[in-house]
Amino acid sequence: MRDERRKALDSPVALRGRRETRVQRHAPLAGAGVLDTVGNTPLVELRRFSPKPGVRLFAKLEGTNPTGSLKDRIALKMIQEAEAQGVLTPDKIILEPTSGNTGIALALVGSLKGYRVEVVMPRNVSPERVQLLQAFDVQVHFSDWRLGTNGSIVKAQEMVADNTMYYMPFQYGNAANPLAHYEGTGREVLEQLPEVDVFVAGLGTGGTLMGTGRRLKEHHSAVKVVAAAPQPDDAIFGLRSLEEGFVPPVLDLSLLDARIMVSSEEAFRMTKELLHQEGVFAGVSSGAVLACALRFAQRLERANIVCLLADGGWKYLSTGLWTKSYADLQAEVEGKVWW
């Protein structure tokens, strides 16, 4: 039955209609504010990356969110839930450990809702992230870069323990994180591509994979959820490696069908290819997700694969990755945080 539905949907007329639908976004109503534009991101087909006729790749472009990343979804949801529960009040200061994107998203939400925001970040994040946070008048506390984002988490927890004025959403353990993707990202993917077979996203906090994956599996239990992760010994921080010893509380490994390791060199190369072949200007983790999807696609003869591209490329321009070879980049970017 599934094959019959797929044949009908793969007819020239159906494909034309589906392609036109997938690149559309729901236009916000006149008078809507910036926060009303969070989500409803486009899904586009990456036709030039298809490894075989029966396998089609699609990209969910989260870089079109207001601050340029999917973290706008969870920042808004976490703050809304905290307000509803009464744990976030006007006198509180929002404090969050972050490598950049979540902090920037919280800065936007906090600014529009009237909250002061502070963040803890590894000192080796890209300069664009610090500049964006400072533009929002966010106070940045730096943690030891050698400890990565795990060090930021520990420092933020110590700050919260010492000061009752802080409220920490804590994206790694906040149920609103996967809930934002269950209610938003997963629903959107099904509206844009009901016949999805594989969903691939980067392994960060785990919220995207858990929330979206659960929604897709409820729609069809055969959907595969695949995580792109960095190699444990990779010198350049990319996505979260579970081998570092910290497993985010929101992450349920039983929901994953595969976890594929991607090197930083491969992630950088595919990030460049995304721009050159498809005109998609995305961040480094997106290159890792595409590399992971292509590797998983080799096992399949027919499938619709959705790749979640977490952010745009604007926060990575200082790397020069689009104009330099990886050999030239390696010394400059080694030890940097790219997620």
- Read off the pLDDT of residues 138-181 as tens digits, 9 standing for 90 and up: 999 999 988 878 889 999 999 999 999 999 999 999 999 999 99
Q: Which CATH number is correct for 2-68+175-333, 3.40.50.720, 3.40.190.10, 3.40.50.1100, 3.40.109.10? A: 3.40.50.1100
Give the rounded percent of residues in the chain with a pLDDT score beyond 70: 84
Name which of 34-48, 58-72, 101-115, 218-232 the model is least confident about.
218-232
pLDDT at 69 over 90: yes
C-alpha R_g of the chain: 19
pLDDT at 273 over 60: yes
Averaged over 104-121, what is the pLDDT? 96
Q: Which of 69, 263, 264, 285 is catalytic?
A: 285
Domain range 71-167, CATH architecture: 3-Layer(aba) Sandwich (3.40)
Domain boundaries, the chain: 2-68+175-333, 71-167
Confidence of residue 316 (pLDDT cuts 50, 70, 90): confident
Confidence of residue 335 (pLDDT cuts 50, 70, 90): low
Q: Which of 282, 306, 16 is nearest to 188 (CA)?
A: 306
The predicted pLDDT at position 220 comes to: 95
Q: Select the more confidently predicted residue: 4 or 212.
A: 212
Q: Which of 60, 69, 71, 99 is catalytic?
A: 71
pLDDT at 24 over 50: no
* Model pLDDT for residues 223-245, shown as the tens digit of each residue: 999 999 887 665 334 455 555 55
CA distance 161 to 148: 21
In whole numbers, what is the pLDDT of the chain averaged over residues? 86
The predicted pLDDT at position 127 comes to: 85
| Structure token pair of residue 177 | 């994180």
| Structure token pair of residue 296 | 């998983």
pLDDT at 13 over 80: no
pTM assigned to the model: 0.86
Query: Taking a C-beta distance cutoff of 8 angstroms, is the pair 322, 333 a contact?
Result: no
The predicted pLDDT at position 55 comes to: 97
* Model pLDDT for residues 206-225, shown as the tens digit of each residue: 899 999 999 999 999 999 99
Identical fold for domains 2-68+175-333 and 71-167, yes or no, is yes
The predicted pLDDT at position 7 comes to: 46
In sequence order, what are the residues at sequence separation of 6 or more whose Cβ sits closer than 8 angstroms to the Cβ of residue 230?
236, 237, 238, 239, 240, 241, 261, 262, 263, 264, 288
Catalytic: 285? yes
The predicted pLDDT at position 231 comes to: 77
CA distance 24 to 15: 15
* Model pLDDT for residues 274-314, shown as the tens digit of each residue: 999 999 999 989 999 999 999 999 999 999 999 999 999 99
C-alpha of 1 from chain center: 33
Q: Which of 303, 284, 276, 115 is nearest to 198 (CA)?
A: 303
CA distance 267 to 272: 9
The predicted pLDDT at position 31 comes to: 64
Strands 198-202, 303-309: pairing is parallel
